[in-house]
Structure 1
Amino acid sequence: MTSENSQLHVVFGRSAAGTLQQALEVAGREGIVVAPYDDFSFGPIDRDDANARAQWVENELGYSDWQKIFEDSLPVLSASMEASKPPIAWISPDSAHSAAGFLWWLSHMADKECQILDVPRLSLLDPESMTEYLDKAEPLSAGRRARSLGLWLQLQAENAPLRILGDAGLMSAPLEHFDAALLEHATPEWQKMARIVAGVLGDFF
């Protein structure tokens, strides 16, 4: 049974969270791994409004019941605030999903101490590789906290449809941002949509 004093790990991606749980088992360590279900790299973020996000996702992406996705993310916040030790946030700096999720999470942490780990391509690591990072977390500095919260406030004010990674980090983008890239991978012959999307994703690695 996991002790209530076990280290809490917050991961911004469900796949990476599952791998981290396996990594803890490989390393023989206790720990609690949590991850928000929502992806704050898209949709409205100007306020914590499950209905607004759900309506946007249904209108723009065609998915229903996103309100539950948002609400299922909230226990991560309560678990983080109640943790007996400073929680460790695992951040993938090359993932807009991870970067935006971290900013959303941090904006709810008030002054609670936390630790951070910047791990490139986090979602691609296997459990053995992930164990190498277990002792590398560092306290979140006051400077980075202030910069991160300032960026989140800016992104909230802009409230763009998308948040992407640019040269200067996370930034707002229009909904049409990826259209040109998608068209580059489209051909006159019929293809599955997933194949076109995979081709675009491959360009980022």
Structure 2
Amino acid sequence: MSGVAEAVHVVWGVSRAEAIRDALRLQGCKARVIALPNCLSVGPIDPSDPDARRRWARENLRDDDASDWDEPEAPWTEATAPDVHPIVWVCLSNAAEHASFLAFTSRMAGRPFDIVDATGLGISTVGGVSPIWSLGLLRPEEIVASGLSARRRPVAPAESAAASEAWSQLQRENAPLRVVRDGQLVSAPLEHFDPVLTELATPDWELVVKLIGRALHHLNTEVDPPGQGTGSEFLFARVLALGEAGILEVTGSGPGMREFEVRRPAIRSSS
């Protein structure tokens, strides 16, 4: 028995794991890549067990979306096993990736691991250098061309301790959402994205999917920082909640966002 720990690459999300795996193969590396499942920028994290998070999802999201919260423990167990040396890939400007990194660091409990940090990375394009706020934006060829693997470094003990403490603080707050502010992951209320939806709604009826598309474009390209850890399903649930509250007008029988229409309520003039 050699005693040399197996190097495994770890990242949040299946699609990111597939891109990193393909990029590593292009560079002749056949190491395992483990995809961490939980989107920990949304929902309760104290406790962070799947049953508690599914209950929260059933109460705050649409039933169809809540049923998709499959968060197995096995990937976490594999990624933090004592006989492996993890290499965590992350872009800390993305809320979901940032949350996963903090939770992973906490689970490592001070054990050493490496990081490939894409925060602040820029990719050369035809139009110039494009800033990358999420690993999910990178194709395998871009990962290779950017030399991202060369950014691998050990996580310093002080850095690990600070990340673990940050996660403990977020667990104590146990907010519905977590977003990035000034480079840090901070707690946010369930209604955090509601102003975006109400401001972007039009006075004319339109499909809900169009409003959500505009909101995602705004959150991902027009705000600083972008990549605030929300998706179409969560915003869909918030549109319906705003409709129930009378803040937006929503009509339709569903089940999908293409079967609902939405508009900003008309301002009633006083007479």
Q: Which TM class, normalised by the smaller chain length?
A: 0.7 to 0.9
Percent identity (aligned): 34
Aligned residue for 2:22, secondary structure, equals helix
* Aligned residue among 112, 132, 141 for 1:128: 141
User: Using the alignment, how far apart are the partners of 1:16 and 1:103 within structure 2?
Assistant: 17
2:269 aligned partner: none
Relative distance call for 1:29 and 1:155 in structure 2 (3 A) is: same
1:129-162 alpha-carbon deviations (Å, 9 max, x no partner): 2122123211011111111111111100100000
Give the superposition deviation at 1:189: 3.3
Check conservation: 1:96, 1:163, Cα contact below 8 A: yes
User: Using the alignment, how far apart are the partners of 2:6 and 2:85 within structure 1?
Assistant: 11
Q: Which moved more, 1:183-192 or 1:42-51?
A: 183-192
Aligned residue for 1:107, secondary structure, equals helix
1:26 aligned partner: 26
Aligned residue for 2:107, secondary structure, equals coil
User: What are the equivalent positions in structure 2 for 1:40-59 lying under 5 Å apart?
Assistant: 40-59=40-59
Q: Which moved more, 1:182-191 or 1:90-99?
A: 182-191
TM-score, normalised by the number of residues in structure 2: 0.68
Aligned residue for 1:35, secondary structure, equals strand
Give the superposition deviation at 1:184: 2.2
Letter in 2 for 1:41: S
User: Using the alignment, how far apart are the partners of 1:42 and 1:75 within structure 2?
Assistant: 20
Q: Which moved more, 1:193-202 or 1:37-46?
A: 193-202
Would you tell me which structure has more helix in proportion to its own residues?
1
1:109 aligned partner: 108
Would you tell me which structure has more strand in proportion to its own residues?
2
Structure with the greater alpha carbon radius of gyration: 2
User: Using the alignment, how far apart are the partners of 1:202 and 1:133 within structure 2?
Assistant: 26
1:94 aligned partner: 93
Letter in 1 for 2:48: D
1:158-201 alpha-carbon deviations (Å, 9 max, x no partner): 00000011125100000000001112222233434343233223
Aligned residue for 1:82, secondary structure, equals coil
Check conservation: 2:117, 2:151, Cα contact below 8 A: no
User: Using the alignment, how far apart are the partners of 2:34 and 2:208 within structure 1?
Assistant: 31
Aligned residue for 2:151, secondary structure, equals coil
2:185 aligned partner: 170
Give the superposition deviation at 1:85: 4.5
TM-score, normalised by the number of residues in structure 1: 0.88
Name stretches of at least 5 consecutive residues in structure 2 with no aligned partner.
Answer: 120-133, 222-271
User: Using the alignment, how far apart are the partners of 1:197 and 1:163 within structure 2?
Assistant: 20
Check conservation: 1:86, 1:112, Cα contact below 8 A: no
Aligned residues: 199
Relative distance call for 1:47 and 1:136 in structure 2 (3 A) is: same
Specify which structure has the bigger relative contact order, considering alpha-carbon pairs within 8 angstroms and separated by 6 or more residues.
Answer: 1
Give the superposition deviation at 1:84: 4.1
Name stretches of at least 5 consecutive residues in structure 1 with no aligned partner.
Answer: none
Check conservation: 1:163, 1:173, Cα contact below 8 A: yes
Question: CA-atom RMSD, angstroms?
Answer: 2.0
Aligned residue for 1:187, secondary structure, equals coil
